[in-house]
Structure 1
Amino acid sequence: MNVPSQDVLITGARIYTVNSAFDVVEAMVVREGVIIAVGSRESLEHTYTIDHVVDLKGRMVYPGWIDPHCHFAAYGAQTREVDFTGAASFEECILRAKAFPANGKWLTGAGWNHSLWPDAQLPDKTILDRAFPDRPVFMMRADRHCALVNSTALALAGIDAQTHVDGGMVEIRDGQPTGILVDAAMKRMFDCMPVPDPSDRREALLAAQAACFGVGLTGVADAGLDLSDIQLMDQLHREGDLRMNIYAMINPNAEAKEFFHTRGPLKTDFLTATSFKYFTDGAIGSHGAWMQQPYLDAPGNCGLQFYRDEDLLAEAEENLKHGFQMNTHAIGDAANHQVLDIYGRVLKGRNDKRWRIEHAQVLLPGDIDKFGTFSIIPSVQTTHATSDMPWVESKLGKDRLVDAYATRRLMMQNGLIANGSDFPVESIDPLKGFYSAVTRQNEKGDPAGGFMPDERLTREEALRAMTSWAAYANFDDDRKGSLEPGKFADFVVTDEDIMRIPDADIPEVKVYATYIRGQQVYARENVS
């Protein structure tokens, strides 16, 4: 028997459609999870037979927020690990680790940032060995490009003073490993850790989904997933447990390439896998970002180069041949220069391939214009600028900051920019990114006037960067990113108007409700 579809009227709201005209309306009609009309309540009630009315009583509605660069699966896994975020010292990290329930053989965690500690020095394994003489411990830095491990973990991974890792570093002091591993060196640890069972992976994904819904996220771009991760997400989507829209950036290993090159890009209502994700360097905080000149606080160290030009060019040509986006992590000025050069050689001019540079953090003079020349999408995280600002000058100096964190100039190249969070590196709350984009300040309001204030976005631009422009960067703008007829009814409701309240109030705004396909998936209180 066919059940007649119902028309649901969403009304009593200030609805930011984020369409091309940035129209604001008071009502919209949803049928079977899709928006069929927007406008005034009176006109919609006159045109449609309304079966149900949702009165939002004067609240604000926005397209569901999209994080165009994060680590959704890793966030879920981290909910089962020690959280070192905000630890004021290494000693506090040790206390948190000791207090964590002893489940499993390994003790793992992430989130520490030595740049914010009193001595600003990388820790070593000495104290860690005393606290955990027998249990292997793996503690990832906030940037997820560096980790501290103890002697037990080093022994299990077979790492010693003679270990050399391409694309990574094992820090050696006085002829012995200190326990600090950078970038590819961490893979030796991952290879000897127990593999989570399917039920744990499932629960981790659902935990990440719940956290996202609570802050208004209806879509995420997970920046680096193996084939098994993508297949599990697809399964959970089909079973109805996972309702988060996911844009999966594929790790370019042999298994994934064979699978996707044979079948082509994947696109379902909830899951998009149209891109391969590459890393060309590490991060500034752990001296892994590839710079043309050495770090000021690490003489002789220019960071890590992960690809030779000819190898990255071969990857780019392969992606073009098979019809995939290429999304490349580049933070240092040398890394960005390499990627821009390779992209330019393959793309040749303006295009609609939507290839992206993830982070695009430090650029050489003259390189910003290449984003426009070759239609390259900058996928940035404005909270990185406000998180890095207390210490980045001590590592790079003033001159290199002139063309760093260049949000507005990058946005002007193609008339759009994608602004994500990189969570769990930064806060999962997209309003933190919105706030940092429009103020260039941290949540304390520092510095007065903003960090590199000429790079601020307007509020409209900042909202687009986490809705319509983010959807465009994800090749999902035909279905998501704005509240228009024919698009999915994915939206978020707040009490306050983030487009009009004082700047200082933005970080305190909480989500009232989140909807996916017109169905409520989160509510602070019941919305009838």
Structure 2
Amino acid sequence: MKFQYATLWSLVFLILLTTSCTTEKKESATLLIYGGPIYTVDSTQATVEAVATKDSVIQFAGSLAEAERFLGEDTQRIDLKGKTMTPGLIEGHGHFMGLGYNELNLDLMHTTSYQEIVDAVAEKVKTTAPGEWITGRGWHQSKWTEMPEKMVNGFQTHELLSAVSPDNPVYLRHASGHAGFANSKAMEIAGLKAVSNEGIDLFEIEGGEVMRDEFGGPTGIFNERAMTLITKHIPESTPEQDAKAFEMAVAACHRNGITGFHDAGIGKETIALYDSMKDKDKMKVRMYAMLTGWDKELLAEWYQKGPMIDADHLVTIRSVKLNCDGALGSRGAWLLEAYTDRPGHFGHETLPMDFVKETALNGLNSGFQVCAHAIGDRANREILDRYEAALDEVSDGTQDHRFRIEHAQHLHPDDIPRFAELGVIPAMQAVHLSSDRPWAIDRLGEKRITEGAYMWQDLLKSGIPIVNGTDVPVEPLNPIASLYASVSRKTLKGTPEDGYEPAQKMTREQALRSYTLDAAYGAFEENIKGSITPGKLADFTVYDQDLMTVPEDEFLKTEVVMTIFDGEIVYAKEE
């Protein structure tokens, strides 16, 4: 009898144990996604059949048969029906509020001539009260299909623009953001009608340039730091406008499959806005924000209190953005040798290099990453020198600083291996090659282009990851265009046939990593996002074509059809 009772209790215990284990293993998923290629960017399993999520976290990634163990009564099923899924894409360098305001103001991104700009402003004047500012962004003279009759240093002059807007001040930012175009009314408000005042040249400004005509008068083009002569007179945006621009930027991210965003340079007002949006549950993009280096008081405040690493993974501030030179399109990039198409001109050092070293030292001592904008080869070299000097002075070699150079677009060959040697991450926007390469050779000449421009594969082979992106609103946010540029090195019209300097192409796997896991690494966030791995955040992007297999000439037709953020569908394209 005792043996029978013992056997019975053993059987009951075994049943309870089995039931307990089964219950633990079968905790119901919130989402079950299956039915198409799923690329994980996880080295342990490159592809899976299914993914299960529990609320905002990935619960399982593997075979569909195993994933079905997580099905419950309330589990939402998403059948991809042959569509492709990857980790949520991360915009590795952009300007979030610039994205929103580009949708609110005049968007000149697709203009192909000066006359189109004039026509757009003339149309805007009809609905704008006299005296009210008209602002916009996106024009790029090197992309025009026809040039105006009158040009100075490769730029248009203001007369046509001023003629259609006599009563409204107008300021139109270059696509790069490193130059601006003002009409006569805007220059009048800025007090720049005269060349000099009491013997002082009003147009001389350190780190910038006011373009002048043959008579010494302003042409309307303000380069680099000279832009402040105009911009300081433009009224600040209202809280209502800021909120609207923010919401439009979030919606644009969702349409483009962007779930994370590295915001390259923000001030106190934007920080306050982001905190407010988070409190209102409107921060539906994971924001990795860089403090603007222009505000020394802001930097001092943050050095004292230290980084803000958000436990909710929505708004993190642990980096500083420095603007150290200009853009190639406006001939503001700081070069070691003069511009091929403007002899004697080397671009602009827009921030003292002593301040770069000072910031690097402060970053190392206070736990802040430093992200320095550098496009020209001299700017890149000078920054690497300052980073190296700071590391030699402070670091014991074990500190995980992950300093970055934003753009790293044109490098001297001697400086390419220094990125990996110093642990400096290049945050490069591949789509810039598609837009800039056809005319960049005019600025730099063939030798500098072939040896040091957009050196993606050389940098990757040296052992350093690349963070990809678009620099929106310099380029449209569309990640498909930047991924295409990464793997083809062609313009968005598909030229040239083999791509520019094809040895520097990324593989498709490298390109996807640059928008996911490597972008997460560039923000110290590779342990929480960037791959489809159990325990990481449930952020995904779904496409109507397979990015890994679609023919190159069909790649740009790929569309984002669904974006999942924090385990919830935030965008679904209507079929």
Q: 1:205 and 2:246 equivalent?
A: yes
Q: 1:510 and 2:556 equivalent?
A: no
Aligned-pair distance for 1:413? 2.3
Q: Point out where structure 2 has 5 or more consecutive residues left out of the alignment.
A: 1-26, 149-153, 196-200
151, 160, 171: which is aligned to 2:211? 171
In structure 1, the partner of 2:320 is: 276
SS at match of 2:80: strand
Identity %: 37
Q: Report the Cα distance in structure 1 between the residues aligned to 2:84 and 2:206, rounded to whole angstroms.
A: 51
TM-score by length of 2: 0.88
425, 429, 445: which is aligned to 1:397? 445
Gap change, CA 1:371 and 1:396, over 3 Å in 2:
same
Q: 1:476 and 2:501 equivalent?
A: no
Q: 1:98 and 2:95 equivalent?
A: no
Q: What do the CA deviations read for 1:353-374 (whole angstroms, capped 9, x no partner)?
A: 1110001011112100100110
In structure 1, the partner of 2:340 is: 296
Aligned-pair distance for 1:108? 0.7
Q: What do the CA deviations read for 1:413-443 (whole angstroms, capped 9, x no partner)?
A: 2341111111111121101111000010122
Q: Report the Cα distance in structure 2 between the residues aligned to 1:146 and 1:309, rounded to whole angstroms.
A: 21
In structure 2, the partner of 1:20 is: 43
> Is the contact made by 2:303 and 2:362 (CA closer than 8 Å) also made in structure 1?
no
Q: Report the Cα distance in structure 1 between the residues aligned to 2:469 and 2:542, rounded to whole angstroms.
A: 20
In structure 1, the partner of 2:162 is: 129
User: What code does the residue aligned with 1:344 have?
Assistant: E
SS at match of 1:57: coil
SS at match of 1:11: strand
Q: 1:156 and 2:199 equivalent?
A: no
In structure 2, the partner of 1:189 is: 230
Q: Point out where structure 1 has 5 or more consecutive residues left out of the alignment.
A: none
Aligned-pair distance for 1:17? 1.0
Q: Report the Cα distance in structure 1 between the residues aligned to 2:401 and 2:300, rounded to whole angstroms.
A: 21
In structure 1, the partner of 2:536 is: 487
Aligned-pair distance for 1:234? 2.0
Q: Report the Cα distance in structure 2 between the residues aligned to 1:263 and 1:315, rounded to whole angstroms.
A: 16
306, 329, 333: which is aligned to 1:264? 306
383, 390, 393: which is aligned to 1:339? 383
> Is the contact made by 2:542 and 2:560 (CA closer than 8 Å) also made in structure 1?
yes
> Is the contact made by 2:419 and 2:464 (CA closer than 8 Å) also made in structure 1?
no
Aligned-pair distance for 1:96? 1.1
39, 52, 61: which is aligned to 2:62? 39
SS at match of 1:419: coil
Higher mean alpha-carbon deviation, 340-349 vs 467-476, is at 340-349
User: What code does the residue aligned with 2:120 have?
Assistant: R
In the TM superposition, 1:219-230 aligns within 5 A as 219-230=260-271
Q: Report the Cα distance in structure 2 between the residues aligned to 1:73 and 1:236, rounded to whole angstroms.
A: 13
In structure 1, the partner of 2:99 is: 75
> Is the contact made by 1:153 and 1:189 (CA closer than 8 Å) also made in structure 2?
yes
Q: What do the CA deviations read for 1:462-485 (whole angstroms, capped 9, x no partner)?
A: 000000000110122121111111
> Is the contact made by 1:111 and 1:143 (CA closer than 8 Å) also made in structure 2?
yes
Gap change, CA 1:334 and 1:48, over 3 Å in 2:
same
Q: Report the Cα distance in structure 2 between the residues aligned to 1:483 and 1:110, rounded to whole angstroms.
A: 37
Q: Report the Cα distance in structure 2 between the residues aligned to 1:38 and 1:5, rounded to whole angstroms.
A: 14
In the TM superposition, 1:45-64 aligns within 5 A as 45-46=68-69, 49=72, 51-52=74-75, 53-64=77-88
> Is the contact made by 2:433 and 2:491 (CA closer than 8 Å) also made in structure 1?
no
> Is the contact made by 1:351 and 1:374 (CA closer than 8 Å) also made in structure 2?
no
Gap change, CA 1:168 and 1:63, over 3 Å in 2:
same
Q: Report the Cα distance in structure 2 between the residues aligned to 1:437 and 1:89, rounded to whole angstroms.
A: 28
User: What code does the residue aligned with 2:384 have?
Assistant: L
TM-score by length of 1: 0.95
Q: Report the Cα distance in structure 2 between the residues aligned to 1:8 and 1:83, rounded to whole angstroms.
A: 38
SS at match of 2:525: coil
Q: What do the CA deviations read for 1:297-345 (whole angstroms, capped 9, x no partner)?
A: 2121111012333232112111111110000000111101100111111
> Is the contact made by 1:375 and 1:414 (CA closer than 8 Å) also made in structure 2?
no
Aligned-pair distance for 1:22? 5.1
Aligned-pair distance for 1:48? 6.1
Aligned-pair distance for 1:134? 2.1
Q: Report the Cα distance in structure 2 between the residues aligned to 1:373 and 1:497, rounded to whole angstroms.
A: 36
Aligned-pair distance for 1:290? 0.5
SS at match of 2:171: strand
User: What code does the residue aligned with 1:55 have?
Assistant: D
112, 136, 143: which is aligned to 1:116? 143
Q: Report the Cα distance in structure 2 between the residues aligned to 1:388 and 1:156, rounded to whole angstroms.
A: 34
Q: Report the Cα distance in structure 1 between the residues aligned to 2:526 and 2:497, rounded to whole angstroms.
A: 36
In structure 2, the partner of 1:420 is: 469
Q: Report the Cα distance in structure 2 between the residues aligned to 1:50 and 1:476, rounded to whole angstroms.
A: 33
Q: What do the CA deviations read for 1:282-302 (whole angstroms, capped 9, x no partner)?
A: 011111001111112212111
Higher mean alpha-carbon deviation, 121-130 vs 193-202, is at 121-130
362, 365, 376: which is aligned to 1:318? 362
User: What code does the residue aligned with 1:102 have?
Assistant: T
Q: What do the CA deviations read for 1:481-525 (whole angstroms, capped 9, x no partner)?
A: 111111110001112111111011111111111010110100013
Q: Which protein shows a greater Rg? A: 2
